[in-house]
């Protein structure tokens, strides 16, 4: 992503990719606003957060299908 975006990506977004929905995104938002009060990353942080949950659900469905 860094190469495709020209190096303009906030590394805090990657921290939101864990499955603690929506807690990880909220933590990223709070930490980023401590550094710069103008940061609004909540919606950007929810993207990888929800994608991780959807990916986990798809992987679980595939595993259940193959193991049944």
Lookup result for tokens 């986990």: 56
Q: What is the pLDDT of residues 8-57, one digit of tens each?
A: 777 777 777 766 677 888 888 888 889 888 888 888 778 877 888 888 89
- Domain-wise residue ranges, the chain: 11-67
Residue 64: per-residue pLDDT: 95
pLDDT band at 2, cuts 50/70/90? low
Does the global pTM surpass 0.75? Answer: no
Report the phi/psi class of residue 27: left, alpha or beta, with left for phi > 0 and alpha for psi in -120 to 50: alpha
């Amino acid at each position: 992503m860094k190469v495709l975006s020209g190096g303009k990506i906030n590394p805090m977004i990657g921290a939101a990719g864990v499955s603690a929905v929506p807690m990880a995104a909220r933590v990223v938002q709070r930490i980023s606003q401590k550094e710069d009060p103008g940061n609004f990353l909540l919606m950007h942080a929810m993207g990888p957060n929800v994608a991780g949950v959807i990916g986990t659900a798809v992987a679980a469905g595939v595993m259940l299908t193959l193991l049944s």
